[in-house]
Structure 1
Amino acid sequence: MKITKSLIFSLFIINLSACTGNFTTVKVKVVDQDGLAVEGAEVFAGGRLGIDGENIKDLTDKEGVFQTIGRKNLAVVFRVNKEGYYQTKLRTNKNLQNLIIELRKKKKTTAMYAKKLLLPVPKKREAIGFDFEQADWVSPYGKGNIAHIFFYLDGEYTDVQNNNNELQISFASAGDGLVKLNRATTNSEYQFPYLAPQLAYTNSLTLKYHTSSSSQSFTTYDNSALGYIFRINTKLNSEGEVIHANYGKIAGEFLGSSYTGTTKRKNVGFVEFTYYYNPTPNERSLEYDWRQNLFRDLEHEEKVYEP
């Protein structure tokens, strides 16, 4: 019996020593958008991180820290949640002993007109007004009432390898325009600024795409961009200061094409983009609450759930 116990103990020590080299401490600190520790955030660490290949879930302590023992050399899928915050997700195998994850607070979510739009263009080489509230062209091409933004499409589409398209975007009022945003460094589901800026709007934008089987292709489209913030209905006082405006955002890039599909259509191309429009005057909040979408009866592919 003594020999058996000694043997078991020895094997346990040998096994533990062998396993130690295969595991490491995983330490994550969760902070908010201001760099302050977030206590009580639920951290899910997936990718079979645990000693027995299980996923691990726990809450951060008062210092915002989640710590566990996990297997080495794994790409871990982290998912972090807390009531009143936007979810953060990322997959990484780097810096697992001292990883910082940002969890952004929900500050002022609001109702907006939000839609994933794919709209036929009725006529090329004409600046046609678009109404954000009606999600349509203005008369005589659609049911829109106010031309919040103008689209001008030019170019020809022969096939995938041979097409030349230009999309011009412009605004009618002084002070209206766009601010382009580069891709954010955060892994939060909410990546836009909380508030629309008050300055730096440009009144026009031209996007070009050219591809040819006989020459070099080029494009000014930026599909890696986060998107745009826009300002419309702008009114200025005598000193050029904004006294009235509406704000919104575009997720990703605009797309304009002369492609009409494989069948004959009553259009000369299309524009495609996802937009959020806040109809409350002078309200600069860009945080969208999908439960309060002001559009009703949208098709499934038109609905927007991302904040």
Structure 2
Amino acid sequence: MDEAGAPVNNAHLNIRFSSNSGTVKGFTDDHGIFEAKAMSNDGVILGDIMKDGYYEGGIAHSFFVTRVGMWQPWGKEITVVMRPIVNPVPMYVRDKIFKLPAHGKEVGFDLEKADWVIPYGLGTQADFIFKVEKSFVNMDNYDATMFLTFSNPFDGIQVVKDDGGGDFNAGSRYRLPRTAPDTDYLPNMQKRISRGSYGRHSDMEDDNNYIFRVRSEVDINGKLKKAMYGKIRGELRYAAGDGGMIKMHYYLNPDYTRNLEFDPTRNLFKLPDGEWTGQP
């Protein structure tokens, strides 16, 4: 079905029941329904759903109990929400690990240059300002807190959870909002990771994503006039090993609108071989 709950007909499905069962292919009917049957020796179903004008959808489901040779619940229905492609635009997109050049002091990061701000790199705009306080003995004994702040009064960040629509592990590959909100941005954020004799601690969550606002400008009355918006797919991660690194999969829209829908064929970066940012 689509985001309004209406059936999506003529969507093409490829469903795989297990490694040796082959693929069941077909199309949804006028009610948006497709029925697939096959033998499965592990209870795992994987699949993808495609239709022109929509983002690709996916299915991942595992059955755990059999009864009379049938995986339970028998005849399970899985709901998938197909999200239409509306207005994808060019963006600066990188999915990379950046080595932190200094600890214990603020270091700016330029999203448009994908580099640290001078003197640590070639960046000129401190879109993100990182500061990491760290004590490190070895990978079994460390404690680090990453602080994120911003350069301008209306800049900020907010968390958004994964939501593909439909059932768990089934839904659109486009899992984040199309439009950035205009309120509720936090001016700072911090994340702590540690490991020691007590075990491990981490503030990072796998289903975290982020929407951010940077390069904000104000009018003569001190109100927001314009800003750049973007998103981070997945958690914003700091790793303590190898001198300290920050992992980001970020998207920056430079057109000063709140549109977050990226066209994967128009990345404004020329990416090095091996780096892929095909997710919208």
Query: Structure 2-normalised TM-score?
Result: 0.85
CA shift for structure 1 position 243 = 2.1
Contact 1:43 1:78 in 2 (8 A): yes
Q: Per-residue CA shift, 1:127-164, capped at 9, x if unaligned?
A: 11111111111111111111111000110222221111
Secondary structure (helix, strand or coil) at the match of 2:247 reads strand
1:241 to 1:96, Cα distance in 2 relative to 1, 3 A: farther
Distance (Å, rounded) in 2 between the aligned partners of 1:48 and 1:122: 46
Which residue pairs with 1:194 in the alignment?
Answer: 178
Distance of 2:183 and 2:237 partners within structure 1: 25
1:206 aligns with 2:190: yes
Q: How does 1:142-157 map to 2 (within 5 A)?
A: 142-157=121-136
Q: Is the 8 A contact 1:154 1:258 kept in 2?
A: no
Correspondence for 1:295 among 231, 247, 269: 269
Q: Which runs of 5+ in 1 are unaligned?
A: 1-30, 262-267
Shift in Å, 1:88 = 1.2
Deviations 1:185-229 (A, max 9, x none): 53321101111111110010011111112x34322222x223100
Could you tell me which residue of structure 2 aligns to residue 251 of structure 1? 233
1:304 is aligned to 2:277: yes
**2:213 matched to 1:231?**
yes
1:258–1:80 distance in 2 versus 1, CA, 3 Å: closer
Q: Is the 8 A contact 2:164 2:174 kept in 1?
A: no
In 1, Cα distance between the equivalents of 2:40 and 2:115?
Answer: 54
The residue type paired with residue 278 of structure 2 is Y
**Contact map agreement 1:227 1:249 (CA 8 A) in 2:** yes
1:274 matched to 2:249: yes
How far did 1:71 drift? 5.3
Change (3 A) 1:176 1:57: same
**Unpaired segments ≥5 residues, structure 2:** 64-72, 166-170
Give 1:248 deviation, angstroms: 0.5
Match in the other structure for 1:67: 35
How many residues are matched?
Answer: 264
- Judged with a 3 Å threshold, the aligned counterparts in structure 2 of structure 1 residues 234 and 95 are, in CA distance, closer, same or farther, namely farther
Contact 1:166 1:206 in 2 (8 A): yes
Q: Deviations over 1:99-120 (max 9, x none)?
A: 3221111111111111112222
**Residue of structure 2 aligned with 1:120, choices 99, 118, 126:** 99
Q: Is the 8 A contact 1:40 1:62 kept in 2?
A: yes
**In structure 2, how many angstroms separate the alpha carbons of the residues matched to 1:205 and 1:234?**
18
C-alpha displacement of 1:279:
0.7
Match of 1:41 in 2: 11
* C-alpha distance in structure 2 between counterparts of 1:305 and 1:99, whole Å: 26
CA distance in 2, matches of 1:156, 1:202: 27
- Contact 1:233–1:246 at 8 Å: present in 2 too? yes
- The 2-side partners of 1:251 and 1:121 are apart by 20
The structure with the greater share of residues assigned to helix is: 1
- Cα RMSD between the aligned structures? 2.4
Shift of 1:48: 6.1
Q: Work out whether residues 17 and 39 of structure 2, in 8 Å CA contact, stay in contact via their aligned partners in 1.
A: no
Q: Which amino acid aligns with 2:254?
A: P
The equivalent residue for 2:109 is: 130
The answer as to whether partners of 2:24 and 2:38 remain within 8 angstroms in 1 is no
Match of 1:26 in 2: none
Instruction: Supply the distance in 2 between the matched residues of 1:66 and 1:229 (Cα, whole angstroms).
Output: 35
1:164/1:55 CA distance change after superposition, 3 Å: same
**CA 1:258–1:64 in 2, change beyond 3 Å: closer, same or farther?**
closer
Rg comparison, structure with higher value = 1
Q: Which of these residues, 153, 167, 175, is aligned with residue 174 of structure 1?
A: 153
Q: Quick one: percent identity of the two aligned structures?
A: 26
CA distance in 2, matches of 1:237, 1:96: 60
